Every structure is written in C-alpha cells, then in structure tokens.
Structure 1
Amino acid sequence: MAAGIAGIDEEWNSQQENGVMQVAKKDVENDNVSSSSNQASEKAFENEIVPSWKDQVTFRAILASAVLSVAFCFIVMKLNLTTGIIPSLNVAAGLLGFFFIRVYTWVLERFGLLKQPFTRQENTVIQTAVVAASGIAFSGGYGSYILGMMPKVAAQAQDGATTNNVKHLSLGWLYGFLFAVSFVGLFSIVPLRKIMIIDYKLTYPSGTATAFLINSFHTPKGAKLAKKQVSKLFKWFSISFLWSFFQWFFTGGDGCGFSSFPTFGLQAFQKRFYFDFSATYIGVGMICPYMVNISLLIGAILSWLIMWPLIEKKKGIWYASDLSASSLRGIQGYKVSLMNQYKKQDSQSSSNTDVISYDDQRRKEIFLKDQIPMWMAGLGYVALSVISIIAVPQVFHQIKWYQIMVAYIIAPILAFCNSYGCGLTDWSLASTYGKIAIFIFGSWVSHHKGGIVAGLAACGVMMSIVSTASDLMQDFKTGYLTLASPRAMFCSQVVGTALGCLIAPSVFWFYYKSYPTLGEVGSSYPAPYALMYRGIAILGVEGTSSLPKHCMEMAVGFFFFAIALNLITLLLERFENKWGLHRFIPSVMCMAIPFYIGGYFAIDMCIGSLILFLWERKNKAGANAFAPAVASGMICGDSLWGIPAAILSLANRNSPLCMKFLSAATNAKVDAFLNG
C-alpha cells in the first residue's frame, strides 16, 4: 500500500471514529448535535456476550447456508452463461440469511423450544458461507475458461484446434479439478488479515456495508445513536432499491438504460467517461478515503483521455488496424499489460494511528482473540498446493507439475495485490490475473504441446486463489465489524467452499445437459466470455512477440514508475512531518484500475466523495456519524436488486423499454430509414 494513501486512510478513519464519538456524546437530533449520551457504536452491544467461535458456526447456520447456496449458485451460473457480469452478493446473502434464521427462531420461540438466540455473529457466518459457495460458481470458470476448452467453442474460434488443445467436458474431472484448486486460496492470505484489516485499515466497502446491515438487524433496543443510524440505513436502502428497480425498466437491450447515459457527451462516453447513476459506487465513494477516489480519477484521465487516444493514433503502425476491440494484439494488449505492471509495486505499509476509539478497541480485541496460527496457514497452503500440483496434471496432461508449482509460488503475491486493491476500491480483478496466467503459461507450453488448454487450466488455478483470497478478506472485514471470530469466519469459508465445490458443478451440468446450444454465439446461453478466453489463449501460445509494438517497454516503464512513486511517498512519510505532503500523493494501485476498466465508476465514487465533503462542511459531526450508514444503505439497496433482476432473467422476463442515446446525425439516419 502506498504510504501516502495509508496515511490518508488512517486520518479518515480516525476522523470518522472521533466524529462518531462526538455525536454519541451529544445525542443527534435531525443530524444536529444536542445533549449528552456518551456511547460509541459498539456500546449498543456491550451488554451482549460474544459467543465462542464454535457457538457461532451452528448446525442451523450451515443448513441455511446450504439452502441459500443452491439458490445463489443457480443465479450466478445463469449470469455466467448469459451476460458474464456478476453483481456483489454479500449484502443479499446477509439479508436472506437473517430472514431465514429469524423465521426459524420465531417459530421455535412461539413453541418455547428456542435454546440459542440468533446473533449477528451467526448471521455473518451464514453470509460468509453463501458468498464463498456462490464465488466458486464464478471462479470455477463455467462461463469462461472451462467452456473455452470445449471443441464447440474451438470450432467457433476457428483456430484449427488439435486434440491436444481441446478438452471434452465430464462431471468427474470438473469435481476433481475444483476440489483440487479451490481450497488453496483460503490459506494464501490468512497470515495477512491483521495487516490488511487493522494495520492498513482497508475499507472493503461491500464488507463494511454488509456489516452495517447485519449490525442494524441485531441492534438492541434503547441504543439511541444506533437507532438513528439504522433509520438512515433503511431509508437509503429503500431509495437505492427503488431507484435500481426504476432503472431496470429502461434496460431492454445492449447499451440501454441509465448506466449508458452519455453524461459528458458521446465522445466522452466512448472513452468510458460518464456518470452511470450507480448507487453502489456513490456509496462506495462515501466510504473510501478522498485520495483513493481522486487517485482513481487521475488514473482514468491519464489512461482513457490521454494515453489510449495517443496509442490509437498509432493504429496501423504499432499494431494492425483490422483487429477486434478485445484482441490483445491491439490496444487491449497495452491495457492489460500496463495495468498489471502499474499495480505490482504498490505495497508499502504505514504506521498505526495513536487515536483508537472504543469501537476499534473492542473489535481489535475480538479479532485478535481467536488466532489462526501462522504455521497452520503456511502448512495448509503447502499441503494443499502439493495435492493440487499432483492432481491438476492428471486432469490436464498438457500442463506439468513444475508449472503448477510456479503458479503457486507467485500466487500469494498476486492474491495480496488483488485483496489490497479490493480493500481500497471494492474491485476484484481476479479475472484479469487469470488472463495474464493464460498468456504466461500458454506461451510456456507452446501450441503444439497443448498450450491453449494449459493456459486455460493455469487461469483456473490463478483465478481460484486470487478470487478466494479477496473474498475471504472482504468477509474478514465484515467479521471484524460484527465481532465475529476469525476462526468462525475461516470455518464458514471452508464450509462455503466445500458447498460450492459440490453444488456449482452440478448446477452447471444441469444447464449443459438441458441446453444443447450452450456456448454457441446467438443461443440463449452464449457464454460470451468463453470465446474471449479461448482467443486470449490462442494469442498466448504465440508469446510476447504477438503483443503490439512497444507494449513491454511501456509496461516495464510503468513498473519502475510505480516503484519510484512509492519510494518518494515512503521517504516523505519518514522524513517530513510539518506539511504531511505524503498524504497527497495518489495511490498507484488505485490509478491502475481504471486503465483497464474505464473511468465511469471513478466518477461515481468522486461524486460520493463530493457528497461527503459538502455534508462535512455543513455538519461534520453528523456526517461522520451517519455517512457510513447512508453509504451502506445505498450499496445494500442496489446490490439487493440484483436478486429479483436475476430471477426475472431466469424466467426470461426482459425489460419492456430501451433507452439509448444517438448523435443527431445518426438519429436523422434512423428516422429516414424508418420513414422510408
């Protein structure tokens, strides 16, 4: 982590904690400060005993997790095979887990049979297990690298695939591969949980929002400040949910709806600069430190408004002019390579803040109580890696054991980078790391030895580790804020991963056998990313020489630029203490993310920062107390809409309207065509 951003992050958290304490001491009325009360957020729960980690992982929690995991795996699989875009399901899992157990305990209570009350820690365990299970449905690659191995997809790619470069699907090897690779990632990042959550104070916005929601469900009666925070949360939860529902009516086609609104004009829209009316990322922007959002915007401007337009002028000189937009031989190659190198060196730590609130003292005490020994994490990673190193080549003979070993050596570094970036911005780039693995290992194996399948298999290994690690750390953040034991969180991750390994292949096989045209372009289940992943693998077997000119030179240049910027930040933090200039140096990690994705979400997040800034100018104490609740409500409402939207999609119910924007000239041509 860049020292400058760490400093900003700590200052922001410290201000937030102090603000909460101020408001807690004065009983907030209509967001204004009045008389005294002297309680922090966790004070509302101080009379509740935190159950032991074993009592948090209950049989009913596992049962609820299993039932919800089946439903969520169907939702994720459907989205995998249609659009390929998966929304965050943390909030929905926490909400549905609450209602599932609440109904169950209410029934038992009516008959006098309830022995164990439903706690927020148990609620967190359910949410963690369900997200872990549904995460396997995504990282398992059923809509991407697994389908990319199929002869049907190979025929569409027209790559003249030999038997070495295709893999026929079988439920047996799908189970074997998934069980071999899915658990390794759980041990890759566990030793760093204290650094990420307590020392770096990373926000993990979705995890934070989920924790706010769970805490609000279980807040004891009589807690005045907490009651007001809950009221704010549910008010904005409702507004966000209804806004997402309203937007859905205008999304009846590709490129339709408010999410494709050309806010700054059509040319800016083509450069991915627009406000997409996402309540989620406005809320995320309110939670993230100011400098994180500013860094994202700087990265978006540097890449999409300056670098990519300049590189596009080299079309036909640096790269061929007739390539598709997704080809790594063209401008896409620069985007993937530069983003990866730009991110790699942003990993400096920071010092702790001396001001620790009651909330943080309580949370830190519980978070550090049930330690997961370092030796256990290390031994677990090595043991499971050995199993995977032996098993994966048995499934894919194209890739050798020593190549899998190399993947497991470098994977923890990439897992850290992804978990750190996710903690700052809520973006997981697991699929991007997977694509890089395709390129590296496909080139290593070569085409005639089955490099296409080897690259796709390596993608699965890498994605499994990197995705699982960021999900685990996101859930650790939720557990930290709900006082759930780290051991309970880890156990629920293991349970959820096991459930995912059992459920996800079966759900995929159901679709595969029920829809013979699955994976075909133009079918009901086209799995659009399968063909793209195979295309990357085809390019990968040709090596770095297939990349456009000067791509590697630029990547190396940004690599050293990242080192230099972090070194400057570190030196300023250590040796200057008057002006605090290190706090104003942008984060290299945050600057890198828009290089590949675009600037639209950075604009959303900066608007969230602007709202928070204006609120603080008007009433800083009230803003610090209620902004997290408002932001969490916005994230939760927008995220929850993903469930009914997915159900409508499962039922083949599409939006009745399409709102799309055209230039005046194009609109005139359309009118002339319709009238002619």
Structure 2
Amino acid sequence: MATQRGSLDRLLAPRGLRSERRESLDAEEMQEELTFRAVFVGLLIGVLLACTNTYFGLQTGWISMMSLQASLLGFAVFKVVPKCGLFEGRPLTVHENIVLQTTAVATGTLPLAAGFVGIVPALAQLSPELDGGAEPLVLSGRALLAWSFAVAFFGVFLAVPLRRQVIVREKLVFPSGTATAQVIGVLHGRPLMAGAAGVEQDGEPALRRRRASARQQEEEAEAMLRQGERDEEDELPDYGASGKAVEAEKVVDRRAWQALMLSFAVSSGYTLLSLAFPFTYAIPVFDLFVRHAAHDWLWWFTPSFSYIGQGIIMGFPTTASMNLGMLCGWAFLSPLSKHLGWAPGPVSSSADGARGWILWPALAIMTAESILSVSLVAVEALRPYFDRAREKSRTGGGLFVGVERGGDIEDDEEPDSDDEVDVARHGGRTHAVRERAEEESSLQVVLAGTALSCVSCVLIVALVFGEDGIRWWATIIALVLASIFAVLGVRALGTTDLNPVSAIGKISQLVFAVVQPGSVVANLVAGGIAEAGAQQAGDLMQDLKTGHLWGSSPKAQFHGQLIGSLASVFVSTGVYCLYRRVYTLPSTAFPVPTAAIWLNLARLVNLGQLPPHSKGAMLFFGVLFVALAALKAFGKVRLSAAASDGVSERADDERKKWGWTRYIPSGIAFAVGFINTPSFSLARLVGGLISLYYTRRSSTSRPGAASHLDHFGLIVVASGFVLGEGLSSVVGLMLKSAGVGGPASCWGCDVGGGGYCGGCP
C-alpha cells in the first residue's frame, strides 16, 4: 500500500494542493506558540470571561472554565478582524490557539480561585452576634489586590510536576481538555486522530488504530471525489468526535459564526432589555396557580438565554438533578419550615427565613457527598502504588515500573514501515514535535516558583488578616492541605471532568475547626487557599491535556497561565470592586449563594449555630446522599466491567441489574437546586432538554457523537448565549455606575414581578 502522504498527494493533486498540503504540515510542526498576538487576544478574551464568571458567580455560584469558548472566540477574532497589525500575515495556528485559550482560562477563572464569589463576600457578612464577636471584614481594594496575588500562583506551580504522571504516563482522559482539542481541530481544519491521545481501547495498539483511521479517511475522500460536483457547503464530510474527517472551514465560517453572532446578539439584547424592564427578568407565571407565588415564595420564571446556554453545556442529567433538588427544597421544605414555625421570617431571608433554613440540608448533602467522592478518588489514586508494592513483595523487584508503550512512537522505537512513519507524522509525532511536546519548565524553576509563591502567600495573608484572623503557621498548614488536595482534584478532573473544589474547601474547613478552633475568619481563609490551589492546578492540567494531544509545548502553556493569572489579579479585583460599589451583596439580583454556604459551614464547625430542627434534616439528607453516591459509584464500576466484557450473557445481566444506577441524581447538583431560587434551575432545565433533544435526534445520523458536547453547533449556540449576557451585564454595570437608569424600569411590576421589582413603588 502507498504511504499516507502519497495517498493524500494523489487525492489533492486534481485541486493543485499537493505541495501546499505538504508544506503546511511541515510548517505546522515548527510554528511558534507563545506569540505576543496569541497572549494579547487571550488576555482580551480572558477579561470577558472574568466579567462573565463574576456575574454568574455572584448570581448563582456557577463558574465555568470556558476553554471551549476561549478557543472558539480566539479563532473568530483572527477571522473577522481586518488583516493588519497583529493579525497581518499568517492565520492563527493550532499551537497559538492552545496558548491563547490557556491564557484566557487563567484570566477568566480567578474570580473563583481568589474567592470573589465565595469567601470574600462571606467575610463581609460576618456578624458579631453569630460569629463570636467577629466584625464584618470588608477588604479594601489594595487588600483585595494583595489577597489575589497571594493565591494566584502556587496552584500553577503545583500542577507542573503532575503533568508527566497523569497525562503522559497514566493518560487520564480529562474530557473537557480532550473536547477542546477536538474543537480546535474542527476550527483549524485538521483532524485530531483517535490515536493522538495515546489511549488504548480493548487492547488494540494505538498505532494500528491510527493507520486504520487514516485508511478510512482516505477511502471517504476517494468516495467523495468520485461523487463529482457538490454544493459548496457540502464539499467535505462532517467531522465527528471520532476524528474521521475534517469539517470544511467554509461551513464553520458561514454556519457556526452566524449562529454564534445571532445567539450572542439575542442574549445581549434580552439582558439589556431586562435592565430597562426588570419585570422581564422575573415573570410571575406561577401566580396563576398560587397567589403571590413570586413575591412571597420566590417562585418566578427567568427566561434568560444565558441560563439556557448553561443548561445546554451542563447537559440533561445535571439539570434534571438540579431541578429535583429545587422541587424538594422550594416546593416542599420551604413551605414546611415556614408553616411549622422553624423559619418564621420572610421566605427570602437567609437569617431567619426558609431560604436560610434550607441551606443547612443542602450543606449536609454537599459536605457528605464531597467527603465520600474525595475519599474514593484518594483510594483510586493510591491503588497503583499498593498493587506495585504487592508485586514488589512477590517478585523482589522495584516499586516503580516503566511506562507501557502504545500511545505514541517512543524515541527508541523504530517504525517498521513507511506507512507507520507517515501515520505517526500525520498524527503530529515527528521528532521536532516530540521535542516541543517534552519542553517542560526546569525543576529548579518549579521549585523556586513554588517556594516564592508559598512564602509570599504566608506573608501577605498575615498582613491582610493579621494574627487575630489566621496565624502564620496555620497558613502554612493550609498550603500543605492545598498541595495534597490539588493532587486529588487533578485526578478527579482527569477521570470524571469534575474538579471537586467546593468539596476540597469544605474538607479544609472541617480540618481547620481543629487547627484553629473558634475562628470563623481563619476557617474561611484556609478553605479559600485550598480551593485556589485545586482550582488552578486543575485548570492548567485540563489545558495541558489539550496541548498534549496536539504536541504543544507545556512550557509555553505554563508561561501563558502565569501571564493570565497575573493579569487577572487586577482584572478580577477591579470587576468585583465595581459590583460591590454598584450593587448590594447579597441582594435579590445577586444573592451570592456560595458565600452563604461557606459562612454557614464555618459557623457550624466553630460555633455550632443551627436553626430549629435543621439538625434532623441535615442528618437525613446527609446519610441519604452518602448511600446514593456510594450506590452510584458501585454501579458505575459494575457497568464499566460489563462494557469491558463486550457482548456476552453475563455483561447483559450486569447492565440490566445495575443500569438503573445511572439515573441516581448527583448530590452536588441536587444541593445547588436548594441554594438557588427556582428561576435559575428552571431556565437551565430548558437548556438541558434542548441538549437531550438535539443529542437524541442527531444520534441516528452521527452515532459517534454520544455526548451533547460532541456537537459543535450546539456548543457554539450555547457559548453565544452565555457570553452575550456576560458582556452586556458589564455594560449595564457601567451604565448603572454612571447613574444611567432604564426608561421605564418599573413597568410591569404592579402585577407582581418577583423580587427584582422590590424597589419599585
């Protein structure tokens, strides 16, 4: 058989693309990555993501890494901006796009890592009566800058040594990082081969699968050419999650960008309209069934396109779990606690109302399931070392063994044919690419950076909070815990696509109830440090997975992460200070639910403050969801074993016996339904239903796309919805800060437009 390159040349020759194709492949391997234009555009997109994440974090506690959106927007910028200045010359390359989205993600996620949607507003809500005499701690702008700088870097340095173990050796999946790599392949018109990830499936060598995929791609291209003339839009076959073919760039231009711009415009327009007419953001549709359901019980509907987009990205199972929790909390527990006198205040009150009462069972669910999930991750992480220890005792060999080959062609492995050479080359594994992919930061730099970031964290935290807040030695313990939890968080993210940062923060709070008892401030700060380390390590590892699949330089991504984190110290602090100055935090528009969870747990473990009869509810829901989570985890193991058995009578029995465990709701999502008012969950359910419908409808034509995130068009529309409201919210924030109000802001509020109309006469 002719080589893959020869086949490609033969197929492309009728179109005069033989030499161009070869030159483009050769040039791609030697391209620069950490370019000024990639970092610059990444910072611009990161600022948008930071504003969006701050907005949604203060509203609902929801923050997204948005790596897909960052790569999508970066590619769009280089497409639509006139070819001049930074954008003159060659187009954006794959490796530049990877650095761009790494920088953007680092800039956009610091609002969570620095606690601007959690511990910072929680510190401002301290009460001397409830918190042992601690006064509200409202940090100044300078103090917030110092705090952000203190926690912005040590998680990045922690991630670097983990890359070789979890990505190169163990080849953990990191689903979002892999999905981002696939989307980048679609955008740049280059297929990401199934074997590029180096993942073994059913024992088949990855090189063989790469060759088979290449041959299948060649056959599809030959069939396409034989078919003759086609419409311009259908000139190439679809690009699916399996990497079989490349979607035409013209299709991406015409359809995807139109969908992105349209969804962005619709979401932005609705958000600006709701700023002028708050009634449209809190429609009291449930007043048709229950009198004053919106005003008295907080039941209204928010037709927010951004929440619909979030629901699409979350998927139906997560949104369904969230709405089950919403029904349990707001349709059952809220009226029950109100009528029985356990929460005598207004339903909207977090102090003595039903809203504050139902936070406690939500806290029990999140804490119990978090401890269980982190424990399972820890056991799974230690299992290989236990197995090797047993093997050592049995054979007398070494504890650490070499890595099995299969995913990539190693330096000392000579391919046995020209076909293998070229398939490996087509998958991005030439010698030059290998050298770039192994270009890591030196151990001396990592150790020095870790030491400097930790020392600066201890000093800055001592200056900002003082010895009365948290002791210097307690900060050191918090950093040690952050290092341990970062490893667990990275491993959980690599296997489940969920970084349990909220769980990590809560476990750290439980530990600090013993380390520095009676101090709510120390409890919150220690939890924030642990969360920051796990968040940043997980974000960088997800990006490094994307880069690894394309053979990008981890050193370039590391530098992009550092630049983005430094920029976000100023961006995230400025955005939060602006929100704090313009709006009351918490308020109906920005309830800051994450801060309430942080503060309530700190009060519980340090002072034992509980509303009436909430202890029984916490015990019931905590035990229930520990049992459900354990059952779901066990069912997942049995179903995975059945899948590995293939088609057999035993496998079918296992699927019938344990298949129902897939429908057990997620405890974290269930608890989120408690802490957010119904309007947030209902709109996300609409998005979840859309993703379910779209996935089922398209599964017949694209069997390889099993997940809703495998559909490029769906991601584009959802991203436009989310980013549209995020950007327009910043515009509204600036207008309100300048004293510009809506033209008829109280229109419609006389019919009971929920809490958003509380300020109207």
| Superposition TM-score, scaled by structure 2 size | 0.61
For the pair 1:456 / 2:509, whether they are aligned, the reply is no
Alignment of 1:404-423 (within 5 A): 404-411=475-482, 415=486
Alignment of 1:259-270 (within 5 A): none
Q: 1:519 to 1:630 in 2, by over 3 A?
A: closer
Match of 1:4 in 2: none
* Residue 303 of structure 1, CA deviation: 3.8
Q: 2:630 aligns with which of 554, 557, 563?
A: 563
* Residue 246 of structure 1, CA deviation: 5.2
Match of 1:248 in 2: 271
For the pair 1:643 / 2:727, whether they are aligned, the reply is yes
Q: Structure 1: how far apart are the matches of 2:323 and 2:77?
A: 45
Q: Structure 2: how far apart are the matches of 1:405 and 1:657?
A: 54
Q: 1:66 to 1:315 in 2, by over 3 A?
A: closer
For the pair 1:549 / 2:618, whether they are aligned, the reply is no
Contact 2:366 2:667 in 1 (8 A): yes
Alignment of 1:312-391 (within 5 A): 315=337, 320-322=342-344, 326=350, 330-343=357-370, 344-345=372-373, 347=377, 362=427, 369-370=437-438, 372=440, 379=447, 383=451, 386-387=454-455, 390-391=458-459
Contact 1:284 1:425 in 2 (8 A): no
Q: Which moved more, 1:192-201 or 1:58-67?
A: 192-201
* Residue 332 of structure 1, CA deviation: 0.9
- Greater relative contact order (Cα < 8 A, sep 6+): 1
For the pair 1:591 / 2:692, whether they are aligned, the reply is no
* Residue 119 of structure 1, CA deviation: 1.5
Contact 2:490 2:499 in 1 (8 A): yes
* Residue 308 of structure 1, CA deviation: 7.5
* Residue 163 of structure 1, CA deviation: 8.3
> Deviation string for 1:468-518 (max 9, x for gaps)?
234324434554566543332222112211222355446666888xx5x87
Contact 2:311 2:685 in 1 (8 A): no
Find the residue that maps to 1:546 and give its secondary structure: coil
Q: Structure 2: how far apart are the matches of 1:265 and 1:143?
A: 34
Contact 1:213 1:632 in 2 (8 A): no
Q: Structure 2: how far apart are the matches of 1:339 and 1:264?
A: 34
Q: Structure 2: how far apart are the matches of 1:249 and 1:657?
A: 13
Alignment of 1:189-338 (within 5 A): 189=159, 191=162, 195=166, 199-204=171-176, 208=179, 212=183, 215-216=186-187, 225-227=246-248, 230=252, 231-245=254-268, 247-248=270-271, 251-252=274-275, 256-257=280-281, 278=307, 280-281=309-310, 283-284=312-313, 293-294=316-317, 296=318, 299-300=321-322, 303-305=325-327, 315=337, 320-322=342-344, 326=350, 330-338=357-365
Q: Structure 1: how far apart are the matches of 2:515 and 2:300?
A: 34
Write the letter of the residue equivalent to 1:404. T
Alignment of 1:413-452 (within 5 A): 415=486, 430=501, 434=505, 437=508, 441=512, 445-447=516-518, 451-452=519-520
Q: Structure 2: how far apart are the matches of 1:429 and 1:260?
A: 35
Find the residue that maps to 1:593 and give its secondary structure: helix
Q: Structure 2: how far apart are the matches of 1:427 and 1:272?
A: 30
* Residue 453 of structure 1, CA deviation: 2.2
Q: Structure 2: how far apart are the matches of 1:60 and 1:188?
A: 27
Contact 1:249 1:655 in 2 (8 A): no
Q: Which has the larger radius of gyration?
A: 2
Contact 1:210 1:632 in 2 (8 A): no
Match of 1:186 in 2: 156
Contact 2:513 2:605 in 1 (8 A): yes
Match of 1:20 in 2: none
Write the letter of the residue equivalent to 2:668. I
Q: 1:488 to 1:533 in 2, by over 3 A?
A: same
Q: 1:560 to 1:61 in 2, by over 3 A?
A: same
Match of 1:13 in 2: none
Match of 2:714 in 1: 631
Contact 1:181 1:461 in 2 (8 A): yes
Residue ranges of structure 2 left out of the alignment (5+ in a row):
1-7, 16-20, 192-231, 238-245, 385-403, 409-422, 674-680, 754-759
Q: 1:129 to 1:485 in 2, by over 3 A?
A: same
Find the residue that maps to 2:437 and give its secondary structure: coil
Match of 1:61 in 2: 38
Q: Structure 2: how far apart are the matches of 1:81 and 1:66?
A: 22
User: What is the total number of aligned residue pairs between the two structures?
Assistant: 605
RMSD, matched Cα: 5.9
Match of 2:93 in 1: 119
Write the letter of the residue equivalent to 1:129. T
Identity of aligned residues (%): 19
Write the letter of the residue equivalent to 1:566. A
Find the residue that maps to 2:615 and give its secondary structure: coil
> Deviation string for 1:281-311 (max 9, x for gaps)?
46436xx6xxxx44x3664476444588665
Write the letter of the residue equivalent to 1:628. H
Contact 2:111 2:117 in 1 (8 A): no
Find the residue that maps to 1:315 and give its secondary structure: helix
Contact 1:439 1:539 in 2 (8 A): no
Q: Which moved more, 1:480-489 or 1:123-132?
A: 480-489
* Residue 663 of structure 1, CA deviation: 14
Contact 2:312 2:718 in 1 (8 A): yes
Write the letter of the residue equivalent to 2:694. I
Contact 1:189 1:469 in 2 (8 A): yes
* Residue 585 of structure 1, CA deviation: 5.7
Q: 1:163 to 1:44 in 2, by over 3 A?
A: farther
Contact 1:319 1:330 in 2 (8 A): no
Find the residue that maps to 2:337 and give its secondary structure: coil
Q: Structure 1: how far apart are the matches of 2:285 and 2:439?
A: 48
Q: 2:471 aligns with which of 387, 400, 403?
A: 400
Alignment of 1:451-490 (within 5 A): 451-476=519-544, 478-479=546-547, 484-490=552-558
Match of 1:536 in 2: 600
Write the letter of the residue equivalent to 1:570. V
> Deviation string for 1:349-379 (max 9, x for gaps)?
9999x999x8999379979932658978995
Q: Structure 1: how far apart are the matches of 2:98 and 2:699?
A: 31
> Deviation string for 1:395-454 (max 9, x for gaps)?
43222345334434444565567667778998777467546655764686345xxx2322
> Deviation string for 1:575-605 (max 9, x for gaps)?
7653354683646997123212235435633
> Deviation string for 1:509-546 (max 9, x for gaps)?
6888xx5x8757789x9895698478537734644563
Write the letter of the residue equivalent to 1:201. V
Residue ranges of structure 1 left out of the alignment (5+ in a row):
1-23, 28-36, 38-42, 668-673
Contact 1:616 1:623 in 2 (8 A): yes
Contact 2:59 2:593 in 1 (8 A): no
Write the letter of the residue equivalent to 2:698. W
Contact 1:171 1:509 in 2 (8 A): yes
Q: Structure 2: how far apart are the matches of 1:172 and 1:102?
A: 39
* Residue 57 of structure 1, CA deviation: 0.8
Contact 1:440 1:540 in 2 (8 A): no
Contact 1:144 1:527 in 2 (8 A): no
For the pair 1:616 / 2:643, whether they are aligned, the reply is no
Contact 2:508 2:526 in 1 (8 A): yes
Contact 1:193 1:476 in 2 (8 A): no
Write the letter of the residue equivalent to 1:407. A
Q: Structure 1: how far apart are the matches of 2:603 and 2:516?
A: 13
Contact 2:50 2:572 in 1 (8 A): yes
Contact 2:42 2:103 in 1 (8 A): yes
Q: 1:240 to 1:175 in 2, by over 3 A?
A: closer
